[in-house]
Amino acid sequence: MEHITLLLGIVIVTALVFDFTNGFHDTANAMATTISTGALKPKTAVAMSAVLNLVGAFLSVEVAKTISGGIINEDGLKTEVIFAALVGAILWNLLTWLLGLPSSSSHALFGGLIGAAVMSMGWSSVNGGTVVTKVLLPAVAAPLVAGVAATLATRLTYRISSRTDEKSTAKGFRAGQIASAGLVSLAHGTNDAQKTMGIITLALITGGVLNPGANPPMWVIVSAGLAIALGTYLGGWRIIRTMGKGLTELAPKQGFAAQTSAATAILASSHIGFSLSTTQVCSGAVMGAGLGRKGGVVRWSTATRMFVAWGLTLPAAGLVGAGAELLTKQGTWGVATTAALLVGGSAVIWALSRRQPVDHTNVTAEEIGTPAVPSEPAGVVTTAIAAVSPPPAGPSVALAEDLAPFPADAPASHSPASAAAVADPARPATV
Amino acid sequence: MKIDWAALGSVFGVSLLVTVALVGLFTLGVVGLSKQEQAREARATGGGTAALPAQAGAYACFALCAAAVAYGIYLIVA
């Protein structure tokens, strides 16, 4: 451990923060419909999901050997590029959380990596074909696969149980839904915590702390599992609200059909080898279940906002990643500034979210204003979306505005990470 | 650029079939159990229909669903 340099330390902390936002962002996938149909109380649901995520992190020993799965050329990938990519991914995750939009954390990471790699090594470092097959095509396929399955399953279950009354069966469907949601949580812990372990391990290898091909040390596995579980437990209530109530209203039968189709599609895709994003599968399943019931309605305005966010994930995270890489290239002070900007940006987003908090007490309430997104941020949402709409220039501008005030008073921000990063610029980073 | 349509197609097919089969089975189980409850109430009031087949069928459905969940966990671990 004595060989861990300052930069490497920052990358590890940032990777764990990304892991945290990942858990935080993706609680909704497993638990949104479970909460909205009343199968589990909000706090119980996130606690169960957190435990299963933690268990999942220890279940599989096969840690991701690459970060991007071939999207970028990872030979000679520098530690600072990984750092810049993480910054892009974290900021995009937080922004979409503020807007209450479910979007893929993996795609955000890919976007950040692409941006940082292009800035560092040029366009040739990106495999365009792999971007299409691993990101764009799955983004279209995932909601279709899960959505069609959920629609048909919902129709079937309504047909079979048409002669029994709703009350006597609701309990059974809720129990079934909890089982499906548990599978989704477990699969998420296995996949996504492995991803963070992969990043940290790769950074340790790049930094010369571990030998190439080494397995992750125990502390990496434990800390990655804990970070994702903690994020899951704190719960991205805004996104849970959107998925559980904003897209459509679900009865226990529909919730069961949606969650089962999501679990099946996730396991089938990871087993057969055409990986689909968990978030997109789950959103598709929820919409499909909404359409499957007679008279069921999907709120397409919310769905459209979500689709726009999916489309923007790659370019937006990429732009932030590229900007961060431009800064980190300047040397130690650049890395410190980037870390300070990350902390500052996160603080601004958190402060904005406090204006209209959504938490476990009001996550399924009828009234916080407009269906998907709490009422007051509706203004924020529309302006932010307006600013974000013209890709790809928008998001970076919006973020830049958020971040603008911070460089000046960066040393004053008291978060431990930035304090360490900023207070220490004189110490030579040996990478 | 090579798109693996076969893999995409089988993900689609498998997801569709397994989801519909599982949801169908589970619904049959739930409906079977609720029928059994109705039958018990009917018996209490002097009706008395045979509830045993419905109950056995329901538990068979649940057993198949539990097997599917176990296979899912196996897929995650393996």
- More confident of the two residues B34 and A284: A284
Mutating which of A127, A164, A256, A286 best tests the B interface, going by the most B Cβ atoms within 10 A?
A164
Nearest to A260 among B23, B31, B34 (CB): B23
Minimum Cα–Cα distance from B8: chain A residue: A274
d(CA A52, CA B28): 28
- Which range is most confident: A29-38, A204-213, B28-37? A29-38
Rounded to 5°, the CA angle A129-A269-A294 comes to: 115
CA distances from A64 to A37, A70, A215, A261 (A): 35, 12, 10, 26
| Tens of pLDDT, residues B9-68 | 888 999 999 999 999 999 888 888 887 777 777 766 655 455 567 788 888 888 999 998
Q: What would the mean pLDDT of A150-166 be, rounded to a whole number?
A: 87
d(CA A149, CA A212): 43
DSSP state, A125?
G
pLDDT given at position A64: 67
- With contact defined as beta carbons under 8 Å apart, do A380 and A352 qualify? yes
Place of tokens 């990942």: A22
Question: A156 and B24: CB-CB below 8 Å?
Answer: yes
Rounded to 5°, the CA angle A149-A155-A158 comes to: 135
- With contact defined as beta carbons under 8 Å apart, do A168 and A309 qualify? no
Give the contacts of A381 (CB within 8 A, at least 6 positions apart). A99, A100, A305, A373
Residue A63 banded pLDDT, cuts 50, 70, 90: low
- Evaluate the omega torsion of the peptide bond into residue A392 and state whether it is cis, within 30 degrees of 0: yes
| Tens of pLDDT, residues A376-428 | 444 444 444 444 443 333 333 344 444 434 333 333 344 444 434 333 434 44
> What 3-state class would DSSP assign to A126?
strand
CB atoms within 10 A of CB B68: 20
pLDDT given at position A52: 92
User: Among residues of chain A, what percentage have pLDDT more than 90?
Assistant: 30
pLDDT given at position A375: 41
- With contact defined as beta carbons under 8 Å apart, do A320 and A112 qualify? yes
B62 touches chain A (CB under 8 A): no
Minimum Cα–Cα distance from B62: chain A residue: A176
Residue A61 banded pLDDT, cuts 50, 70, 90: low
ipTM of the complex: 0.85
Mutating which of A127, A160, A281 best tests the B interface, going by the most B Cβ atoms within 10 A?
A160
- More confident of the two residues B49 and A9: A9
Give the contacts of A136 (CB within 8 A, at least 6 positions apart). none
Chain A residues whose CB is inside 8 A of the B12 CB are: 141, 144-145, 148
Buried b (16+ CB within 10 A) or exposed e, A38-53: ebbebeebbbbbbbbb
Nearest to A183 among B2, B20, B69 (CB): B69
For the ranges A26-40, A49-63, A283-297, which has the lowest average pLDDT?
Answer: A49-63
Nearest to B7 among A165, A168, A272 (CB): A272
What backbone phi and psi angles, to 5 degrees, belong to A54?
A: -65, -45
pLDDT given at position A51: 93
| Tens of pLDDT, residues A176-187 | 899 999 998 988
| Tens of pLDDT, residues A295-316 | 888 899 999 999 999 999 999 9
Residue of A332, A334, A328, A325 whose CA lies nearest to A429: A332
* Domains of chain B, residue spans: 5-77
* Domains of chain A, residue spans: 6-133+170-247+312-421
> What 3-state class would DSSP assign to A72?
strand
pLDDT given at position A403: 40
B18 touches chain A (CB under 8 A): yes
- With contact defined as beta carbons under 8 Å apart, do A64 and A197 qualify? yes
